[in-house]
Chains A and B, each alone.
Chain A
Amino acid sequence: AQKVTQAQTEISVVEKEDVTLDCVYETRDTTYYLFWYKQPPSGELVFLIRRNSFDEQNEISGRYSWNFQKSTSSFNFTITASQVVDSAVYFCALSGTTGGTSYGKLTFGQGTILTVHP
């Protein structure tokens, strides 16, 4: 069985602070994929990043960066110099390949509510 844990239920920061959202996953698959989605107050789910299990390179996209560490089964997300527009719920998700194709079904964490105050 797969599991994704986002232990931080809510985080509150002041604008321009850096913030890291934690994601820990469990899977028995050797090939799997990790994702981050953003859900702003308007409610839609916005894809942010995909990472496969063979690629442990960290990635940076503007103020966003992701740290994937297989040794600790973690895929953490850092926002540098946070802005009010970053306020949202952030979900980490996992897709495995147990027993052949999984069709990309996602197992989501419970989400972290990030509030950035001006």
Chain B
Amino acid sequence: DAGITQSPRYKITETGRQVTLMCHQTWSHSYMFWYRQDLGHGLRLIYYSAAADITDKGEVPDGYVVSRSKTENFPLTLESATRSQTSVYFCASKIAGESYEQYFGPGTRLTVT
């Protein structure tokens, strides 16, 4: 499928478990991002990547790990899930350059019990 996809779309996991959220884009965009959306906070940046093997922390990176071995994939891993990580997670990508807009995936709704 063309565009940006996320999997799974819904996930329920238990506290302490490791979970990985997948993000795949077919545009060959250099930049990719992970955001979480919580009521009252809008969207907040977790991690971003400027290219394969180049990643950096955003506003709320604690408890998350990312990797980017291929341009098209940008997985987000919760190493030991906590209830505070219950959220909707959005992946986004954009063309390199300051002015271009980001395009978002459909989101993954994660519940940590």
Chain A contact residues, CB within 8 Å of chain B: 4, 31, 33, 35, 37, 43-45, 47, 50, 52, 91, 93, 95, 97, 101-111
Contacts and interface: CB of A to CB of B under 8 A. Distances in A.
B107 A97 contact: no
Contacts of A106: 33, 35, 43, 45, 102
Interface residues of B, number: 26
Contacts of A47: 101-103
Contacts, number: 59
Contact of B42 (A35, A50, A52, A108): A108
Given A43-B88, A45-B90, A104-B31, A91 B43 contact: yes
19 contacts: A31-B98, A33-B98, A33-B99, A43-B88, A45-B92, A45-B104, A47-B101, A47-B102, A52-B99, A93-B43, A103-B48, A104-B31, A104-B94, A105-B33, A106-B35, A108-B42, A108-B43, A109-B42, A110-B41
Contact of A104 (B58, B97, B104): B97
B48 A105 contact: yes
Contacts of A43: 88, 106-107
